[in-house]
Chains A and B, each alone.
Chain A
């Protein structure tokens, strides 16, 4: 069943590419305007530099020699270029295990979360659902008032999930915000005529959801999958509370131990200095390695994320 609808194609576009540049040109520039525009460009360039300089410094340091890094001699360009920092990171067992675990949590977590979100958002988007308002109220209230750390911990403990992989995936499986985004999308982008047509053809609700709604909702699914995936990849809090075994640690918790708590393992006293310098360098390389997966998908998803924010802003 291939149905092309104008509504589906009208799916909210990224705002930055609106017709505004043309509109701005309609206002004629006076000398005051020219000074003003110079100020605008200056401001934006400052923004750009403030964001870029720390990032560039981290990357440059990660490619420098341990001695140069420890001596604080690196600014924006690698000093004594070498890749040993990366070599050390990529041969560290704890880091590799953490990397694998995070891939698992992000992968499985995203599938579970997207499935559950669609399962609640689609019925809630149907106005003929009995009890719809009560359920939406329930979702909204959970945004306003959360159970809190200890009460949630007690539930996880009572279910026997402590120190299992499920403790990372289940307690944060559904984000109320994503439910609202998905619900709004289904309501506004799936035309009612399609549903009527499917009814006449004798399609069941599940069949309609699977063969019509979901294929028309690919942009939405991409957005919420990426939001859940990146959220899961970046989080360390549930792992900190619920996990004890290091074998289950996600990358972020391993990173915290190495980068912040400074738990770089036993060092040989003989070459303490070299080890310390190496540990400094490793931190920079580690930052780059663990951020690369997110930054790799980033250019592809940036546009979708913009859409996601728009979708969320459609209603409140």
Chain B
């Protein structure tokens, strides 16, 4: 292609673009408000992260405050609490991942074997329901049913010779957090695997039958490979959010007795930032957290793409 021809193509493309803009101005009009939303509530906050590298004060504002370099990061890591926070955050989400990841898969595989329609629908309806209960209510339920005085669970725990007041026990915090999460989300998380199972080619089951496979072998050789891509995507997403343990539930489950295991990065950021008004330090900690998250997500996605051929993009 000659330079002149290239020039002409570029000119034509510019012209088409301009024509499209004029003809579809209404589409661009629609975009104004949502784009403003993304700029104001997503991208300006990202830019505001710059105060992690500044000594922010209200008078000088975000851009006028003096630079502080990495001071706030150093201040955070110099504090012995930092390593406890990181450990608590990591252990909590690793535990949550190990417990919460396989159970929905097992639930979906089991439901997939059931023939009785009514039973299947009932199990589905009931196990989805907790997903729609708010965090505040779930935590209140935990507090009530584990209460040594009122709750039926504390009687049960006492029967097995376990600590009667689980919520005040730092050693039990992670289990309470993780298993109540499983209780709340397992049914709903199984939906996506049910969908994947529904999409498996029926001829594979036919082949398995001709080969004389029993149900277990059918699950192992047909069902599991069939849902593997979905499993990988869900796994990448959960590893990518490993440092992003939700603030909401940990904060509500906290009490002075279990702080040694229940204080995580998210709750610490809230306390330092909004209760002690140390904006720069809180932002630095939050930024550190998001950065680790992003790196983990990219790393897992790359590894998964190379090993299994499945990735997010």
| B31: A residues at CB distance < 8 A | 119-120, 123, 135
The reply on A152 being an interface residue by CB < 8 A is yes
Q: Is the CB–CB distance between B279 and A130 below 8 Å?
A: no
B11 within 8 A of A: no
- Chain B contacts of A170 at CB under 8 A? 37, 41
> Which residues of A lie under 8 Å from residue B218 when comparing CB positions?
27
Q: Are B126 and A287 in contact, with the CB atoms below 8 A?
A: no
Residue among A24, A151, A233, A236 with the highest chain B CB neighbour number at 10 A: A151
Query: B313, A298: Cβ atoms under 8 Å?
Result: no
> Are B30 and A122 in touch, CB under 8 angstroms?
yes
> A305: which B residues are within 8 A, CB to CB?
128
Interface string of B1-45 (1 = CB under 8 A from A): 000000000000000010011001011101101110110111111
Q: Check B94 for interface membership: any CB of A closer than 8 A.
A: no
Distance in angstroms between the alpha carbons of A29 and B55 in the assembled complex: 71
A-facing mask of B169-195, CB < 8 A → 1, else 0?
Answer: 000000000000001001110011011
Residue among B136, B143, B252, B297 with the highest chain A CB neighbour number at 10 A: B136
Residue of B129, B143, B215 near A51 (CB, 8 A) is: B129
Asked whether any CB of chain B lies closer than 8 Å to the CB of A6, the reply is no
A69 to B147, CA, bound (A): 12
Q: CB-nearest residue of chain B relative to A159?
A: B40
Q: Are B110 and A205 in contact (CB under 8 A)?
A: no
Q: Does B79 contact A (CB under 8 A)?
A: no
Is B48 a contact partner of A149 (Cβ separation < 8 A)? no
Which of B33, B42, B107 has the most A CB atoms < 10 Å from its CB?
B42
A245 at the interface (CB under 8 A from B): no
Contact B30 A252 (CB under 8 A): no
- Give the CA-CA distance A48 to B38 in the complex, in Å: 42
In Å, the complex CA distance between A310 and B194 comes to: 10
CB of A205 within 8 A of CB of B113, answer no
Cα(A280)–Cα(B213), bound, Å = 56
Q: Is the C-beta of B163 less than 8 angstroms from some C-beta in chain A?
A: no
Residue B133, interface by CB 8 Å: yes
* Chain A min CB distance to B255 (Å): 9
Which A residues lie within 8 Å of B28 (CB)?
123
One of A55, A155, A255, A309 near B45 (C-beta < 8 A)? A155
**Beta-carbon contact of B273 and A153 below 8 Å:** yes
A24-B113, A27-B209, A40-B114 known; A255+B294 contact, CB < 8 A? no
Interface bin, chain A: 35 or more
Cα distance A246–B17 in the bound complex, in angstroms: 52
Besides the contacts A26-B205, A61-B144, what 18 more A-B pairs have beta carbons closer than 8 Å? A15-B194, A15-B195, A23-B205, A28-B209, A33-B216, A57-B152, A61-B150, A72-B155, A135-B35, A150-B48, A151-B286, A154-B45, A170-B41, A236-B248, A298-B129, A309-B195, A310-B191, A310-B195
Binding site for B on A (CB under 8 A): 15-16, 18-21, 23-30, 32-33, 36-37, 40-41, 43-44, 47-48, 50-52, 54-55, 57-58, 61, 69-70, 72, 74-75, 116-117, 119-120, 122-123, 126, 128-130, 135, 138-139, 142, 144-155, 159, 170-174, 204-206, 209, 230, 233-237, 241, 252, 255-256, 259-260, 280, 283-284, 287, 290-291, 294-295, 298-299, 302, 305-306, 309-310, 313, 316
- 27 A-B pairs within 8 Å (CB atoms) are namely A16-B194, A19-B202, A40-B113, A41-B119, A48-B126, A51-B129, A54-B183, A55-B129, A70-B149, A120-B30, A129-B20, A135-B31, A144-B294, A147-B42, A147-B44, A147-B49, A148-B283, A148-B287, A170-B37, A172-B41, A235-B134, A256-B136, A283-B140, A290-B137, A294-B132, A298-B129, A309-B192
